[in-house]
Each structure stands twice: as C-alpha cells, then as structure tokens.
Chains A and B, each alone.
Chain A
Amino acid sequence: MDQFMDFFALHYDKITIVILSVFLGIEIIGRVPSVLHTPLMSGANAIHGVVVIGAIIIMGQAEPDNYMALVLGFLAVVLGTLNVVGGFVVTDRMLEMFRKKKAPPKP
C-alpha cells in the first residue's frame, strides 16, 4: 500500500494528464460521421507512433558496447518510424480523395 501511495504522489501530475486525456479523447471522437471512421482510425494510428520518441531515447542512451540495446533500439526506431510515416501518408492519401471530388463539380 505504501508503495502505491508513493507511486501516486510521485506521479500525480502524469496521472492527472492521463485522466484528463481520456476524457478529451472521448469528447473529440463523440461526434464523428461514420464516413470518416476509417481515416480517423488511420490518423489515430499515426499519432500513437509517437512511441518512436521512446525508441530514439533508448537508442541515444545505449552504451556503444551494449549490442542488445543497440540492435533492439535500432529496430524500434525503424518500426516506430514506419508507424508514424506510413500512418500519416496513408491517412493523407485517403483524405486527399475526399477533397478531390468535392472541389470540381462533375462534368
């Protein structure tokens, strides 16, 4: 119990962010037309690619002789970047088509 209390006190600010973000996420998604479900999912998918920052930190802190950390960290950077870049590009491609057909009236 003590450990839990310590943890809570130590990370109070982060726990607050987590709880507020949960509500924020719910509010944001509350009103979205079903047309946009796929692009939205894809966009959210790109955003959780923010995990790549953790991979970069690992990579940047690994001692040059710690090959396990280097290799795994490198893999993590590659995979995380794939998630971010691929996610945003795919989302953009989907949304590009929504826009294209809105602009020019059909001949």
Chain B
Amino acid sequence: MNFVLLLSYLIGSVTFIVGLKMLSHPDKARNGNLIAAVGMLIAIVATIFLYHDESGARLHNYGWIFSGLIIGTVIGTATAKKVKMTAMPEMVSLFNGMGGACAMLISIVEFNHLYGKYSSVFANGTEWQQGKGSLVIILLGLIIGSVSFAGSIIAWGKLNGSIKDKRIPAGQALNFILLGGIVVLSVLLFTGSPAMAPLFFYAVLLLSLLYGILFVMPIGGADMPVVISLLNSFTGVAAACGGFLYNNPVMLTGGILVGSAGTILTILMCKAMNRSLKNVLIGAIGAASGNAGAGNGKEQGNYKEISVNDSAVLMAYARKVFIIPGYGLAVAQAQHACHELEKLLEEKGVEVKYGIHPVAGRMPGHMNVLLAEADVPYEKLLEMEEANSEFPTTNVVLILGANDVVNPAAKEDPASPIYGMPILEVEQAEHIIVNKRSMKPGYAGIENDLFFKPKTSMLFGDAKKVLQELVAELKSL
C-alpha cells in the first residue's frame, strides 16, 4: 500500500485511541471527540484518493462515492443538530443501526464478489476452498452487522415510543432456535455444495435480522441503554471484520477498540444498576415483577398527598433542598422548569443541589446531559456517594420521576429483585416530596416503601406541569 495511505491509517488509529481516552475525562472530552473526528476525516480522504488493490488499480466511481458522502453528511448533520437532548439515546441507537447496516451491505457485496469469482471454476472446487478464509470473515460481518442493525432499529423504535414492549411467547426458545439455525446454515454454507451457497448465505441474513428483532423486542425501555451499548460494541466488531477483509488497519483498530470498550461500558452500566448482563437480556426483573407484585401483595399502608402550595412553602423556608431527577423528568422534558425552580429557591436563600444516581434517566450520565442543557451548573450535580453524605443535613428532598433509585428495599429487603443496588438514601432527610404521575410502580415493577413512610408526601402529576405550578407558587410567595 501507498506510504501516505498507511501513514494516514496510522494517524487515524492513534486519534481513535487518544480520542477515546480523552472522552473519559470531563474537561478534555470535547477535544477528544474532535480529534477522533479529524482522524476519521484523514483516513476517509486518504482512502478515496490513495487506495489501490494488489494489482495497483485505483478506486473509480468517484461520482457515486462523493454523492453518497455528501448525502450522508447533510442528513447526518441536520438530524444530529435538530434532535432534542431528551431524544439523544434513540439517536445514538439509530446511528449505530446505520453502521450495522453498512457492515451488512459490505458483506453482501463481498459475498457476491467472491462467489462470482469462484462460480466459474466449480469443476474442481479448489478456488472455492481457498476463498473460505475470507468467507468466514464475510459471514461474521454479515451476522453481527445485521443483528446490530435490526436490534438498533427496534431499540430506536422502543425509545421513541413507536414500538411497545412485547413479550413474545416462548421468546427465549425461539431465540435459541434462531441462533441454532444461523449456526447450522453457516456450517452448511462451508461444507455444502457451492451451488447452494447463495441460498444458505441469504438464509443466514434473514435469520440474523429476525434474531436482532426478537432479541431486543422483549427488553424493557429502562434497560435500553445497556442494549444500545451492547449493540454498539457489536457494530464495532462488524467494522473490524471489514478491516480483516480489506487488510485495513484503521478499520481493524477502530472496530475492535469500540468492540472492547463498548463491552466494558455495557458491563459498567449493568454494575451501576446491580444487574447482570444476562438478567438484562433475559429480562428477569420484568418477568419476576408480575409475580412478586401480585403474589405477596402485602398491605403497604397509606400514603399522604401534599398540595403544590404546601410543597412550595416547605421548600421556600428550607435551608437545603435536594432535587432527585429521574426517568420521569426526562420523559416530561422538565429540565428547564427544574432549573427555574432551582433559581427561584436560590434567590430566596435556599441551598439547592441535585443528587444524581448513576443510572438515573434513560442512560447513565443522561441526566447530567439534560440538566447541563438547562444550564444547571456542574458543581450542583452531586454523584451518589456525595449526595448520600449530605442528606442528613437536608430539609427537603424533591424526587422528580425517580423511583427504583430511591427504593429502600434495595438496602433492606434481601428478597427484592433490586436488593444490593446502591441507592440514594433520601430517607435521612427531614421531608421527602415525591412527584410521580401515579402510584404505579417504577420500571422494576416493585412497590416502594419510601412512599408510605411518614416523612414522605406525594405530589402527583406530570413533572413539567408540577414544576411550573411550583414556580408560579414560589413567585407569588
């Protein structure tokens, strides 16, 4: 390969490593992203103009390549600029699906290329045998890419609400059958008659797409981040398959880096929720909740409601107020109203802080992004440990659409499905106001004892509407 091209690929690989590294430090993250983007640009431009195959033939079809790049850039920039901050997770999922689809298409074209090359010499079949090394990679790219594509599209649909959670009867068994089918067909592709190869190949494609759909379908909305992160690493591996195929070091390092980093990130997310990846994928909590909720049905006692007016007074005359934002706040897009409330309280001399659970919101870290969008200062966002040490000196805790992350059962009840998950220990504060839409249990589907404690008052309603009413009340005080 051309020296400049190889050098560009080396630069690309290094920027990806440096970029990812910098992305894990808050103050360097943005530059890290830019560095990786520049490296990507160098690698892409170098490929277009400098790539040639073994025989020295350069690329052609520039018209097609550039129109593809331009269309992708225009649409990509426009959607990415327009998307609302609350819709970030589904956006990431959608873009991830595009990458998976790209890997899938590459495999299809390469298979046809390989098959076309060898179909003319079937007489002895030796050429087909020699092609099998590449065929392994092509097939891997196809399976992983299409699972990632189909799964990401389902995840995207679920997060934006157009696809509802569905439990497929015998879904687990069906998934195993599909996986078995993919394996059997792949083996047949290698051992069977070459004439049948395309049939087996496209059957694998079909089953992989179906598997991707069924694999994500039963997983609950709150677990979607974990799934997206997992699919993200899948696409990384699919991209690396392309690297193997084209002997392309930058695709190889980029893909594998994302594959392994994505896997670690997935595990970190699971840890923060105190769940195993297996549980997330099989949806153990979702399944158990129905039984637990109906089965033990123990009397929880009464909860008490509080009016908007009383809540406003309570907070206005407090010294320190903690706001615990959760999934409900993200769904209601109430981050701006929340910031307004915080400003008003500060004007009245109340110290306001936010307690952020690692898995609050729709993705780990998502809550920070949302509140940042509403201009909440960084120093006000306290991570769980810090927040927990401040609750004993807090007068009022306002919980906005969070549930499982403040459920004391995680500490007290070994039988609870969320037992062992670190929580925000809000019951140490003087008063607790819980804003929820109804008494319906949270994602884990379990009752929350906190709501029935004498210190706790419930403030029902949509987070945004309630916050606006609170702001209005505070202004009139």
Which residues of chain B have C-beta atoms less than 8 A from A81's C-beta? 68-69, 71-73, 76
Which residues of chain A have C-beta atoms less than 8 A from B225's C-beta? 38, 41
B331 located at the interface, meaning its Cβ lies under 8 Å from any Cβ of chain A in the complex: no
A77 touches B69 (CB 8 A): yes
B298 located at the interface, meaning its Cβ lies under 8 Å from any Cβ of chain A in the complex: no
A51 touches B255 (CB 8 A): yes
Which residues of chain A have C-beta atoms less than 8 A from B252's C-beta? 14, 17-18, 21
CA gap between A98 and B71 in the complex, in Å: 30
Which residues of chain B have C-beta atoms less than 8 A from A55's C-beta? 68, 102, 105-106
Interface SS of chain A:
helix
Which residues of chain A have C-beta atoms less than 8 A from B3's C-beta? none
B261 touches A25 (CB 8 A): yes
Q: Mark interface residues in B67-89 (1 if CB within 8 Å of A CB, else 0).
A: 11101110111011101010011
Q: A10-B133, A44-B20, A51-B238 are in contact. Are A22 and B259 (CB under 8 A)?
A: yes
B99 located at the interface, meaning its Cβ lies under 8 Å from any Cβ of chain A in the complex: yes
A93 touches B80 (CB 8 A): yes
CA gap between A68 and B326 in the complex, in Å: 48
- What residue in chain A is nearest B238 (Cβ atoms)? A51
Which residues of chain A have C-beta atoms less than 8 A from B448's C-beta? none
Q: Mark interface residues in A61-105 (1 if CB within 8 Å of B CB, else 0).
A: 110100011101111111111111111111111111111111001
Which residues of chain B have C-beta atoms less than 8 A from A105's C-beta? 377
A22 touches B246 (CB 8 A): no
Q: A54-B245, A56-B44 are in contact. Are A43 and B240 (CB under 8 A)?
A: no
- What residue in chain B is nearest A10 (Cβ atoms)? B133
CA gap between A87 and B246 in the complex, in Å: 24
- What residue in chain A is nearest B228 (Cβ atoms)? A41
Which residues of chain A have C-beta atoms less than 8 A from B366's C-beta? 38
* Interface residues in B, total, Cβ within 8 A: 123
Of residues 37 through 51 on chain B, the ones whose CB sits less than 8 Å from some CB of chain A are 37, 40, 43-44, 47-48, 51
Of residues 351 through 390 on chain B, the ones whose CB sits less than 8 Å from some CB of chain A are 356, 358-359, 363-366, 368-369, 372-373, 375-378, 381, 383
CA gap between A4 and B308 in the complex, in Å: 71
Min CB–CB distance A28 → chain B (angstroms): 5
Q: A60-B60, A61-B59, A73-B64 are in contact. Are A98 and B29 (CB under 8 A)?
A: yes
CA gap between A105 and B377 in the complex, in Å: 8
A84 touches B47 (CB 8 A): no
B412 located at the interface, meaning its Cβ lies under 8 Å from any Cβ of chain A in the complex: no
B61 touches A62 (CB 8 A): yes
CA gap between A101 and B12 in the complex, in Å: 31
Min CB–CB distance B218 → chain A (angstroms): 22
Of residues 249 through 265 on chain B, the ones whose CB sits less than 8 Å from some CB of chain A are 249-265
A24 touches B257 (CB 8 A): yes
Which residues of chain B have C-beta atoms less than 8 A from A58's C-beta? 106, 109-110
Q: Mark interface residues in A10-24 (1 if CB within 8 Å of B CB, else 0).
A: 110010011001111
A1 located at the interface, meaning its Cβ lies under 8 Å from any Cβ of chain B in the complex: no
CA gap between A35 and B376 in the complex, in Å: 14
B383 touches A56 (CB 8 A): no
Q: A17-B256, A37-B365, A53-B250 are in contact. Are A90 and B262 (CB under 8 A)?
A: no
B64 touches A70 (CB 8 A): yes
Q: A53-B43, A55-B105 are in contact. Are A83 and B99 (CB under 8 A)?
A: yes
The segment from B202-210, B229-237, B402-410 found at the interface with A is B229-237
B268 touches A21 (CB 8 A): no
B65 located at the interface, meaning its Cβ lies under 8 Å from any Cβ of chain A in the complex: yes
Query: Which residue of B51, B240, B268 contacts A32 across the interface (Cβ within 8 Å)?
Result: B268
CA gap between A85 and B21 in the complex, in Å: 20
Of residues 35 through 49 on chain A, the ones whose CB sits less than 8 Å from some CB of chain B are 35-49
A59 touches B264 (CB 8 A): no
B249 touches A36 (CB 8 A): no
Residues on A close to B: CB < 8 A? 3, 6-7, 10-11, 14, 17-18, 21-26, 28-62, 64, 68-70, 72-102, 105-106
Supply 5 A–B pairs (Cβ within 8 Å), ascending by A: A38-B364, A60-B62, A60-B65, A82-B72, A86-B77
Q: A46-B95, A51-B235 are in contact. List 9 more A-B contacts (CB 8 A).
A: A28-B257, A35-B381, A37-B268, A47-B40, A50-B16, A53-B44, A59-B59, A83-B95, A89-B77
3 residue pairs, one from A and one from B, having the closest CB atoms: A81-B72, A60-B59, A25-B260
